[in-house]
A = this chain, B = another copy of it.
Amino acid sequence: MKKILILGAGLSASSLIKYLLDHSEIHDWKIRLGDVSLAIAQKKINGHANGVAFVFDVNNQEQVSEEVSQADIVVSMLPARFHYLVANACVEHGVHMVTASYVSKEIKALNEKAQEKGLILLNEIGVDPGIDHMSAMQVMDKIREKGGKILEFESSTGGLVAPKYDNNPWNYKFTWNPRNVVLAGQGNSQFLHNGKYKYIPYNKLFERYERIDILDLGEFEIYPNRDSLSYRKVYGLEDVKTMFRGTIRRPGFCKAWNVFVQLGMTSDDYVFNNSENATYRDFMNSYLAYDEEKSVEQKVSEYLKIPEDSDIMYKLRWLGIFKSEKIGMIDATPAQILQQLLEKKWGLEAEDKDMIVMHHQFVYELNGKAKKILSSMAVYGEDQVHTAMSITVGIPAAIATKMILTGEIKNISGVLVPTIKEIYNPVMKELENYKVKFIEEEIDWQ
């Protein structure tokens, strides 16, 4: 009998929990699921004989240590900043660990200790990061096996509302953590284009998008992620000429979102004065110069050179950002105020389903000829529990957890990401059962 400890029972953990419970009988697993909310954990266990829900507090070091010490493997679905607390305990007690988050510096530092104990600390095995790595590696393996040299690599992902439910002027709804959406892109973005390093500051990010068609889903736009360069090494693409990672939205999103960026309304660095009694209209007006005569709408329009009858202004009005409605939040930052407004308008309705779209482009050279491969995926949510986000984040992590417990992943240890054939091939194969499947197209490329 093997014991699995799952920490965090939030939205993105649903499909993972279900997978592990569903496979617990045949593999003789016992699962303990900890969350700050016992109710949520119990709901996800749903009375399953092999599962136990309990109240878990990651800041209670004693509890972390005790729970981890009794497990054979830990899957942390906690917010990313807490993973290292769990990872420390895993290394101490000799327990494997799986997360769907980026490898942090703190976790990277555990590599040697983990290797000494023969432990696997597998990270970035969700969707982005996760499925992006694994699906890209599979295509690159095929190219390399036939002797091709990869010249360009671009990869983008978006969490969106499924087309059938895509019924607001922004063509966007929150399908994951709204706070991350509001703060997305802050800092500097960097990538490589035709051998040239390119840097984009936050204030230009949402002006530097590209339009693209994906599958039969129509048009999208892609804006750059923060860091595209560090993946060169991970993917063995040190000599690549173009290396780009991006985020997918529907057309028109970036231009409208850019209004908030330009005005400074996405800042999380200071408290907005009197956020309790101020209105959304006051909030907007605070980013515009004083004028005795002009309306807030007129001022935005003139300041950012956006015609009042444009789609952008329509999107803004639709959000209610010009309304004299009280914000009613105490000591809120601009980003928090904006998030509250967006949640009212961008929340999923009861019947809504989400969609994850992923799109890779590879240009490679073989026998003096350039070819381009487009590889695309669209996954749809089943319902509001098993969303596309929950499936694509959780099922890869769940499959990897199974493979570690059954010994399918062996002879490797340390802090890992799934760019290892032994991991990504079986995981991608099994993901097809969950409708996670890429469609490839190859074309000649001058």
Given contacts A262-B204, A270-B190, contact A199 B334 (CB under 8 A): yes
A229 cross-chain contacts in B, Cβ below 8 A: 273
Q: B194 to A290, Cβ gap below 8 A?
A: yes
Query: A189: nearest residue on chain B (CB-CB)?
Result: B264
Q: Of all chain B residues, which has the CB nearest A292?
A: B194
A307 within 8 A of partner (CB): no
Task: Report whether B197 and A264 are in contact in the complex, using a CB–CB cutoff of 8 Å.
Answer: no
- Among B198, B202, B289, point to the contact of A208 (Cβ < 8 A): B289
Contact B198 A267 (CB under 8 A): no
List residues of chain B with CB within 8 A of the CB of A193.
289-290
Chain B residue nearest to A270 in the complex (CB): B188
Residues of B within 8 A of A285 (CB): 196
A287 contacts the other chain (CB 8 A):
yes
The 8 A CB mask of A251-271 against B (1 = contact, 0 = none) is 000000000011110010110
Per a CB cutoff under 8 Å, which of B198, B264, B290 touches A286?
B198
State whether the Cβ of A200 lies closer than 8 Å to any Cβ in chain B.
Answer: yes
A201 contacts B by Cβ under 8 Å = yes
Closest beta carbon of chain B to A285's beta carbon, Å = 7
- Kindly state the separation between the CA atoms of A192 and B200 in the bound complex, as whole angstroms: 31
Interface range for A: 20 to 34
Q: Which residues of B contact A286 (CB under 8 A)?
A: 196-199
CB of A86, distance to nearest CB on chain B (Å):
29
- Is A169 engaged at the interface, CB distance under 8 Å to the other chain? no
Minimal beta-carbon separation of A412 from chain B (angstroms): 32
Q: Decide if A187 is an interface residue (CB 8 Å cutoff).
A: yes
What is the CA–CA distance of A198 and B284 in the complex, to the nearest angstrom? 10
A102 to chain B, nearest CB (A): 17
Determine the chain B residues whose CB is within 8 A of the CB of A203 once the complex forms: 201-203, 261-262, 264
Contacts of A290 in B (CB 8 A): 193-194, 196, 198
Residues of chain B within 8 A of A288, CB atoms compared: 198
Q: How far is the CB of A337 from chain B (nearest CB, A)?
A: 12
